[in-house]
């Protein structure tokens, strides 16, 4: 669990690199969406995130992959629009400050868990679950 909190801090470091300048290319859009999904899971669904990710090595692979892909530049307005359209924004608000109910958080975690599993598999291809 402590590892997930450390990785949440890493996400805050990576976030400015995602928001530099220029329109968002498709591969960057995917990386940013994955970044937001992992970030929201670590914050809202720590037990599910921990059970899906399971090891420090897997979480490191995810963040290393996201860091490589986050080198692309993005227009801040386009990035803000992408964040507003992400499923996490519907639950937590576009600024992340909305206080969602337990029911909303539970539904979000349940509905988005397959997406987290896909991200874990994508960045850890050598793992066969």
Are 55 and 3 in contact, with CB atoms under 8 Å apart? no
Structure tokens at 58: 């897997």
- Residue 47 CA neighbour count, 13 Å, CB half: 3
Q: pLDDT digits over 9-65, tens only?
A: 444 444 544 444 456 777 777 877 888 888 888 888 888 888 888 777 777 888 787
Q: pLDDT digits over 83-107, tens only?
A: 777 777 777 765 656 677 888 888 8
Q: How many CB atoms lie within 10 A of CB 69?
A: 17
Structure tokens at 94: 């576009």
What are the structural domain ranges in the chain? 2-123
Give which of 43, 61, 45, 21 is closest to 112, Cα–Cα: 45
Are 91 and 83 in contact, with CB atoms under 8 Å apart? no
Q: CA–CA distance from 26 to each of 32, 46, 56, 73, 80 (Å)? A: 10, 29, 29, 12, 16
Report pTM. Answer: 0.63
Q: What is the pLDDT of residue 8?
A: 47
């Amino acid at each position: 669990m402590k590892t997930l909190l450390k990785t949440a801090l890493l996400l805050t470091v990576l976030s400015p690199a995602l928001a530099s300048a220029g329109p968002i290319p498709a591969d960057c859009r995917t990386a940013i969406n994955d970044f937001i999904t992992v970030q929201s899971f670590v914050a809202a669904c720590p037990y599910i995130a921990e059970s899906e990710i399971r090891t420090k090595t897997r979480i490191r692979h995810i963040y290393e992959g996201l860091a490589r892909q986050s080198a692309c530049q993005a227009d801040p307005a386009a990035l803000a629009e992408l964040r507003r359209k992400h499923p996490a924004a519907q639950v937590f608000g576009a600024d992340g400050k909305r206080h969602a109910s337990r029911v909303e958080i539970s539904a979000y975690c349940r509905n988005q868990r397959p997406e987290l599993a896909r991200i874990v598999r994508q960045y850890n291809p050598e793992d066969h679950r």
